[in-house]
A and B are shown apart, each in its own frame.
Chain A
Amino acid sequence: MIEAPDLSLSALTPLLFVFGAALVGVLVESFAPRHVRQPTQVALALVGTVGAFGSTLLVAGDDGTVTGAGALAVDGAGHFLQATIAGLGALSILLFAERGLDPAKSAFVASAAVPAGSPRDRELLTDERVQTEVYPLATFAVGGMMLFVAANDLLVMFIALEVLSLPLYLICGLARRRRLLSQEAAVKYFLLGAFASAFFLYGLALVYGATGSIRLSEIRQSVTDDGTGTLLVLGLGLLVVGLMFKASVAPFHTWTPDVYQGAPTPVTAFMAACTKVAAFGAILRLLYVAFGTADWTWRPLVYGIAIVSMVVGAVLGLTQTDVKRMLAYSSIAHAGFLLTGVIGLGGGTGSGLSATLFYLLAYGLTTIGAFAVVTLVRDGDGEATHLSQWAGLARRSPLTAGVMTFLLLALAGIPLTSGFTGKFAVFRAAIEVGAWPLAVVALVTSAVAGFFYLRLVVLMYFSEPAEDGPSVGVPGLPTTIVLAVTVAATLVLGVVPGSVLDLADRAATLVG
Chain B
Amino acid sequence: MSLTNYLVLAAILFTIGAVGVLVRRNAIVVFMCIELMLNSVNLTLVTFARATGTVDGQVIAFFVMVVAAAEVVIGLAIIMSIYRTRRSASVDDANLLKY
Q: Which residues of A contact B (CB under 8 A)?
A: 112-113, 115-117, 155, 158-159, 162, 166, 169-170, 173, 179-181, 183-188, 190-191, 194-195, 198, 201-202, 204-206, 208-209, 212-214, 257-258, 261-262, 319-321, 325
Contact = CB atoms under 8 A, between A and B. Distances in A.
Contacts of B47: 209
5 contacts: A166-B70, A184-B94, A184-B97, A191-B21, A208-B45
B1 interface: no
B99 to A, nearest CB: 8
Contact of B41 (A162, A180, A201, A257): A201
Interface residues of B, number: 46
B45 A170 contact: no
Given A173-B81, A202-B44, A191 B94 contact: no
B70 A162 contact: yes
Interface of B: 7, 14, 17-18, 21, 27, 30-31, 34, 37-38, 40-41, 44-45, 47-48, 51-52, 54, 56-57, 59-60, 63-64, 67, 70-71, 74-75, 77-79, 81-82, 84-86, 91, 94-99
Nearest to A170: B74
Given A116-B85, A170-B77, A186-B78, A191 B60 contact: no
A230 B64 CA distance: 24
A178 to B, nearest CB: 9
Contact of B97 (A115, A188, A190): A188
Contacts of B48: 205, 208-209
B74 A204 contact: no
A494 to B, nearest CB: 33
Given A166-B71, A183-B82, A198-B41, A258 B98 contact: yes
A408 to B, nearest CB: 21
A197 B65 CA distance: 13
Nearest to B46: A205
A383 B70 CA distance: 33
A470 B67 CA distance: 44
A70 to B, nearest CB: 12
A159 B71 CA distance: 12
Given A159-B67, A191-B27, A191-B30, A181 B97 contact: yes
Nearest to A168: B74
B52 A209 contact: yes
A212 B56 CA distance: 9
A198 B17 contact: yes
A169 B57 contact: no
Contacts of A115: 81, 84-85
